[in-house]
Structure 1
């Protein structure tokens, strides 16, 4: 009987060592798919990658944490496309963790209605639970946008 418990314990120990890398790989695939949909401007499909209600930290939404549903997420990105019809994100590096987080360093580019081009380095920390994005915490320098809107 002792031997059976020892084998079970060893099996569970090995299983716990394998799980983080599998989760990390799955999370990486989710994020890669996310950016594929983003670059195709498939906002409704991309919004389905989020939980029913997800938490956002994004300078475009203010300084705090904002909860958004899938309809609001698709609308937000549709509005972004209206401002910058050729908006495109290029992943520089993915930093998977052994938890349910993945950090993405990327550069966003596009053209404004006045034909000025922008290049914006961005970093996002995604939290992924049960295959869905539950948190999207995005960081970039929004100083110029705030200054042009009279906010400082």
Structure 2
């Protein structure tokens, strides 16, 4: 009888561990799909649809904003990327690698390319850490070399 209880307890614990892992795994898959959808919308320059992947006041970290965290509305986001798209009409991002970090964070390495108004082409390696909660991006922390050679 004691062995039966021990086996039952072991099976119950194993089931609990496996079910927790499946839940976590499913959440990570959903978050990865959201990030892939993000890049599809980005490359299609669908800024309004892309903004809908974010909460209303998302925390952003981006060298173009300085060194701190800046909260932006969906309207701010649309304005920023519409302007960027005006300057670089063929702007595209190519995912190089996606890393899952816990249940909320997805890290993406990607290469941004485009053509400036004077027809010079650029390639910029970028890394973004997305924090995703309840199916929406709550934080977008982006890192790239923002060194200005003209200074």
Matches within 5 A, 1:86-105: 86-105=90-109
Match of 1:68 in 2: 72
Match of 2:138 in 1: 134
Q: Highest Rg: 1 or 2?
A: 2
Give SS of 2:79's match: helix
CA distance in 1, matches of 2:60, 2:87: 20
Aligned pair 1:51/2:55, yes or no? Answer: yes
Give SS of 1:143's match: coil
**Which stretches in structure 1 are left out of the alignment for 5+ residues?**
none
TM-score (norm: length of structure 1): 0.87
Q: Aligned-residue CA RMSD in angstroms?
A: 1.8
Count of matched residue positions in the alignment of Structure 1 and Structure 2: 144
CA distance in 2, matches of 1:94, 1:14: 24
Match of 2:35 in 1: 31
Match of 2:114 in 1: 110
CA distance in 2, matches of 1:47, 1:70: 5
TM-score (norm: length of structure 2): 0.88
For residue 19 of structure 1, report the CA deviation from its aligned partner.
1.4
**Which stretches in structure 2 are left out of the alignment for 5+ residues?**
none
